[in-house]
Amino acid sequence: MFSSFSFGELGTRGLPIDVANRLRRGQIRGTIEQMRVMLLGNTLFAPALSMNAWGQGRDGLVVLWTVAIVLFSWWIFYSWTTYYQTTGSEKDMRGFVIQTFFNSLFWTTGMALFYPVASGDQKAIITAIMAGSLALGTTGFSHAPWAGMTYLAVQTVGNALVALICGLTLGSSTDFLIFVLMIAAGVSLFNATLEGAKAARVAFNNHERLSEKSEVVELLLKDYEEQATEWLWQTDKNGHLLSAPAQVLEMCASQGGQTDSIDLVELLAANCTKAAEEDIRQLQQAFADKAEFHDVRLSIQSPVDGELRWILMKGRPQFERGAFQGFRGIFADATAAVVAERKVQFLASFDGLTALLNRNSIQKKLSELQADDHYAVALLVDLDGFKQVNDSYGHHIGDLLLKKVAERLQENTSENTWVARLGGDEFLVMMNRDEPISAAEISWTAQSICERVSQLAKVEDFVVQVSASIGVSRFPEDTRQGLELLSMSDMALYEAKNAGRDRITYFNAEIQNRLSERNTVIDRLKRAVRNGEIEPHYQSQHVLSDGRLTGFEALARWDDEVLGAVRPDVFISIAEQTGLIVELGEHLLRRACEDATQWAELMPKAPPVVSVNISPVQFARTDVTGLVSRVLHETGLPPELLEVEVTEGVLIASREKIAATLQELSELGVSIALDDFGTGYSSLSYLKDLPLNRLKIDQSFVKDLSRTASNPIVSTIVQLGHNLGLNVIAEGVEDQTDVDLLAELECDDGQGYLYSRAMTKEATSRYIAEIALQASQQ
């Protein structure tokens, strides 16, 4: 706020208004406090000057001037008492300086009236009196620099001019000398006044800085007192409080916070809860024994807000010359620490959202099961459709739904039935008995859970519904190791999910075998994908009317050294469930495009199109357009030689997103085929909205075609495709009869064993070379 200043900054320039007011108020008050000295000087000096001017022919002026200056001096003295209450405004300072000006003008007038008519010693005395008045006034106005300099300037200039004029008129060298002395005295006093003003300003600046720091320190101390969690207390030798923190007295409902005659132990004992009885006894014993104590934890129900608070207390006896004087110690607010400790203890055993047992608690209980005298059933419950609730209404609604499900699972549970939340939307209901549990009771409990969970639930402003899939395992029938119940129930739950959800599945050895096999497939599949062991095989596609080759469909094939040949319907579904399909799909697309590039060189006049399936998981997890564009660029395959196959199921999850992606692919020049039309979620709306080029008739419709020549489904699909301007290809063409019947129904193309089985890249290249050779010989 303050910096080094020049003469022009002795005033209030650059200061905030409140600081400037404080500076002016201090200057005015400091000057007024010196007015007694100045009043005494005016009262004595004025008559003294008058006496030396008496008898020089101006006695009337002498009397008039003397009376006027004395009365004026007393008047301004009394008027300045009102200024003492000033706020330090600029107006008050201007008035103060103006009065100072007239005060000094009175003295200069006296000099002008009486000095010219005086002579000899009288002139010397008058000069001395004026010098004394000048010095006394300057000293008196030293607290207010502008007032002091005004007083000094008027007297110095006025008195010096009087002496100079007299010297010029009378030719007296003494007058010239007095003129010089007056100027010298004025300059000297001016410098002294200026230095004093600077010193005063520095002192004021330092005081302001100190005040600012003091205010900050005071605020910090006050904030600390309000926010502190530790407070001092002290008692006399009788245990009566000498001092105590207001926070503790408020919790103990002490009247008005008074500490006089309050017994500390009695006060705490009267306000603590029963849980603190043992600590109170410890405290009483320490006071009786005059012994030091630590970590006495007291719980108090606050009368202010009814909340439970914890105070940690420690104290030490005080002795002076061997005489006991009382106790002194510290109260510490341990509420936050106790709450955190209890929360940690709670979360160690219970679920934070539903307050059910958590996985740790269940595992502990399972580990304690004894096969000789315990019977237990684990019902692992997983909510069907919970992800859609989260996606549609948000996780807040999902959490509230989980709490409702927890409440429903606890309904009608017996004392020996545990309910736990294992995580996410997975719950466990554990039936624990000391005698065998009947199949009827297990079935009734599981059915009851399914019914309660599937009831409509009102969650805030929404009505939501989910169902439950349950996996059941029994102890000791299925296992004699309690901890294995969870994994067995999980296996059964997996089967329930795969079987269509909203059902109950009991664990058996066959399930375990299937899951073991599946786990083996997953492990080998990860290795195969990582090493690129899954290769595309190709099945040819032909025009039905003349058998002309149009392209190939890339089909994934996996021959594992441990598992042997694994069916595509097995490893493709596992790859989709585990997310491996993303890496696998990119590998197959790249290989197919590389192979198709070579085949285009073998048949340059009519290069075959390669058709590659894109999984719904790929659409959901990757940028399919970016992937296809990148692979085409890197392999050099023209976009018109690539066909992307999608199934109807890909449109269900996010139709708008998929439609946009297919439009982008179409704009790249890639053809798009809808695979297995009629077997999934057929809808005419997406047939007209999507940029499709071809419909594929599923082989399940083609295999019975010979027995129903006028098959209405195949005929309808063909006509529908043609009406929409789409090419139609039939899968599963196995003999010439199929060709004839499909051609009769005006189907365009065919694919199946009649033409070729799925071939390796090398066999496909030879197949193309033979066709190219035959074409060249015709």
3-state secondary structure 468-496: EEEEEEEECCCCCCCCHHHHHHHHHHHHH
Dihedrals φ, ψ of 499, to 5°?
Answer: -80, 0
Q: What is the DSSP string of 94-131?
A: HHHHHHHHHHHHHHHHHHHHHTTT--THHHHHHHHHHH
DSSP state of 753: T
Which range, 19-33, 55-69, 468-482, is most confident? 468-482
Q: Which helix (H) or strand (E) holds 773?
A: helix 761-777
Query: Measured in whole angstroms, how far is the alpha carbon of residue 433 from the centre of its chain?
Result: 48
Q: Which pLDDT tens digit goes with each residue over 201-234? A: 776 777 767 766 655 555 554 554 455 567 888 8
Query: Binning pLDDT at 50, 70 and 90, where does residue 610 land?
Result: very high
- Count of C-beta atoms within a 10 Å radius of residue 372: 6
Residues forming beta bridges with residue 642, ordered by sequence position: 610
Q: Which residue has the higher pLDDT, 255 or 480?
A: 480
Please list the alpha-helical segments (H only) found in 608-760: 616-621, 624-635, 650-653, 655-668, 684-689, 699-702, 712-723, 736-744
Dihedrals φ, ψ of 693, to 5°?
Answer: -120, -25
Residue 268 has pLDDT above 80, yes or no: yes
Q: Which residues contact 56 (CB under 8 A, 6 or more apart)?
A: 114, 117, 118, 122
The interaxial angle of helices 145-170 and 90-114, nearest 10 deg, is 20
Dig out the tokens for 10 from the structure. 């002795």
Q: Do domains 230-339 and 350-507 have the same CATH topology?
A: no
Helix (H, G, I), strand (E, B) or coil at 19: helix
pLDDT number for residue 255: 44
Dihedrals φ, ψ of 452, to 5°?
Answer: -65, -40
Q: State how far the Cα of 159 lies from the Cα of 112, in Å rounded to an integer.
A: 7
Q: State how far the Cα of 573 lies from the Cα of 569, in Å rounded to an integer.
A: 6
Q: Which pLDDT tens digit goes with each residue over 567-591? A: 998 899 889 888 999 999 999 999 9
Q: What is the gyration radius of the CA atoms in the chain, in angstroms?
A: 53
Query: Binning pLDDT at 50, 70 and 90, where does residue 3 land?
Result: very low
Q: Which residues contact 620 (CB under 8 A, 6 or more apart)?
A: 653, 654
Torsion of the alpha carbons at 759, 760, 763 and 767, rounded to the nearest 10: 50
pLDDT number for residue 159: 77
pLDDT number for residue 695: 92
Contact 467, 450 (CB under 8 A): yes
Q: Which pLDDT tens digit goes with each residue over 363-419? A: 888 888 887 778 999 999 999 989 888 888 888 999 999 999 999 998 867 778 889
pLDDT number for residue 421: 93
- Count of C-beta atoms within a 10 Å radius of residue 703: 15
**At which residue do the structure tokens 């469909």 appear?**
553
Q: Judging by DSSP bridges, how do beta strands 642-647 and 671-677 pair with one another? A: parallel
Q: Which pLDDT tens digit goes with each residue over 133-157? A: 777 666 666 667 777 777 778 877 8
Helix (H, G, I), strand (E, B) or coil at 28: helix
Select the CATH number that applies to the domain covering 350-507 from these four: 3.40.50.300, 3.40.50.1100, 3.30.70.270, 2.30.30.40. 3.30.70.270
Q: State how far the Cα of 57 lies from the Cα of 473, in Å rounded to an integer.
A: 137
Longest CA span, the chain: 160
Q: State how far the Cα of 263 lies from the Cα of 236, in Å rounded to an integer.
A: 10
Kindly report the CA angle at 395 between 391 and 401, in degrees rounded to 5?
100
Task: Tell the CATH superfamily of the 532-777 domain.
Answer: EAL domain (3.20.20.450)
pLDDT number for residue 552: 97
Q: Which residues contact 743 (CB under 8 A, 6 or more apart)?
A: 544, 545
Q: Which pLDDT tens digit goes with each residue over 309-340? A: 888 899 999 998 889 999 999 888 888 878 87
Query: Measured in whole angstroms, how far is the alpha carbon of residue 753 from the centre of its chain?
Result: 62
Please list the alpha-helical segments (H only) found in 543-680: 568-578, 581-602, 616-621, 624-635, 650-653, 655-668
Q: Judging by DSSP bridges, how do beta strands 504-506 and 417-423 pair with one another? A: unpaired
Structural domain spans, the chain: 7-212, 230-339, 350-507, 532-777
Helix (H, G, I), strand (E, B) or coil at 714: helix
Dihedrals φ, ψ of 165, to 5°?
Answer: -65, -40
Percentages helix, strand, coil for the chain (3-state, rounded to 5) are 55, 20, 25
Dig out the tokens for 704 from the structure. 């019975």
Dig out the tokens for 77 from the structure. 């003295």
Mean pLDDT over each residue of the chain, to the nearest integer: 82
**At which residue do the structure tokens 């297990």 appear?**
442
The CATH topology of domain 230-339 is Beta-Lactamase (3.30.450)
pLDDT number for residue 506: 93
Dig out the tokens for 634 from the structure. 């890197």
Q: State how far the Cα of 557 lies from the Cα of 572, in Å rounded to an integer.
A: 10
pLDDT number for residue 13: 63
As a residue count, the chain comes to: 778
DSSP state of 9: G
Q: State how far the Cα of 175 lies from the Cα of 179, in Å rounded to an integer.
A: 6
Residue 2 has pLDDT above 50, yes or no: no
> How does 708-732 read in b/e, with b if 16+ C-beta sit within 10 Å?
eeebeebeebbebbeeeebbbbbbb
Contact 381, 453 (CB under 8 A): yes
Contact 144, 99 (CB under 8 A): no
